[in-house]
Amino acid sequence: MSFFKCSIAPIIFSISSFSAFADDPAMLSGQSDPQFAAAIALWLDHRDLDALNEFSTLANSGNRAAQVFLGQIESQLYLHADVTAGLNALDRQALLAQWDGQTAQNWLEAAAEDVELAQALLDRRRHGSRMEATEALIDFTELREAHTGLVHLQNGDGSEYLTIMPDVIGLSTHPAISAEARWLGYSLYQELLLYGGGGAADGLDHGRLSEAALALEAAGATDNETSENWTSVIISGLPNDEFSHANWQAQGRFILAEYSLSPIATICVDICPGHPDNCAQNLSFVTQDPLYVYHYSPAEWAISTADYQASPRFPYDVAALAEHSEIVASLRQNGHEFHICDVPSFVRD
């Protein structure tokens, strides 16, 4: 079950503890191959056809780094849609997946035979194993993947949802995460109190929940006025009959003001001069996962977030988040106009 209303994409992400791996990350097999480095350079330069062909060739030759990289980006259409959107299913699978001419599987399945990171990435996608996998990805400093795992955890992970929530909330207290993640951890705590009615509720351990709340307070999650404004936008959202140009743009300005979104905000200013607020709110509305997730590198082990944000492809990726969103596709199919710089046509004047 979930306590979140998702008319505006929830922004929830947390980090636990860093292991020694974070200080001295091990190279994946094949990562030092000059051909892999060249493929990464092509990808960062937004030369996707050349880059994907290089990655595919390397993956099929057994290069584990190429396999893990393709496995991470395969499900994220906006990262390769310029090439794959026009391909038929078989050609797309042959380019991005392990393909034997009859069946395809994500390259992570092959890499997981001897790459712990690949196994953690697979487990993060599997219902019921997200808690352990997310903690492992935190240790690997794969922040985008870890944040995505925490979104799934906080929005419900089966029958153990209430049992694990104190631990999930506790993850948001790590000093490496942003204030927004702590604010949302605190909001989740408040929602759980309302659900529990002050007593025991279906496996919810209020003692452990209180300990998590104290950790949140110590981390400063409960003493900032902005937390109330932020979580009121994310948790409650706007009912459809309250969408208006004014509040749509107001929420966009609020998102732009949040420091953790500054890389995306800068892109919105560049691609939508005069209307960056529309850009920010549109992105927040149409992205499947929290908007904060997308300013991290999709594969931190191969490309640092700093290098990703400084690369020529980052502005394209930000715009592609909207252009290749399932929500945007649905809106257009239903006759609504959508452009990243404009208030959507379904929003009333």
Residue ranges covered by each domain of the chain? 238-333
Length reported for the chain: 349
Q: For the whole model, what pTM was predicted? A: 0.83
* CB count in 10 Å sphere of residue 82: 18
Residue closest to 3 by CA, chosen among 338, 316, 231: 231
Task: Provide Rg for the chain, Cα atoms.
Answer: 21
Identity at 157, one-letter amino acid code: D
- Name the token pair of 336: 């609504």
pLDDT digit of tens for each residue in the chain (349 aa)? Answer: 232 223 223 322 233 333 333 333 568 999 999 999 999 999 999 999 999 999 999 999 999 999 999 999 999 999 999 999 989 989 999 999 998 877 889 999 999 999 999 999 999 988 667 888 888 898 898 989 988 887 777 776 555 667 778 887 877 776 666 666 667 677 777 777 776 544 444 567 778 888 887 887 777 766 555 555 554 444 434 444 456 888 888 888 888 877 667 889 899 999 999 999 999 999 988 988 878 889 899 999 999 999 999 999 999 999 999 999 999 999 999 998 899 999 988 887 6
| 273 Cα distance to chain centroid | 26
CA–CA separation, 48 vs 56, rounded Å?
Answer: 12
H/E segment holding residue 90? helix 89-96
List CB contacts of 133: < 8 A, sequence separation 6 or more: 120, 121, 123, 124, 126, 149
CA–CA separation, 174 vs 176, rounded Å?
Answer: 6
β-sheet bridge partners, residue 124: none
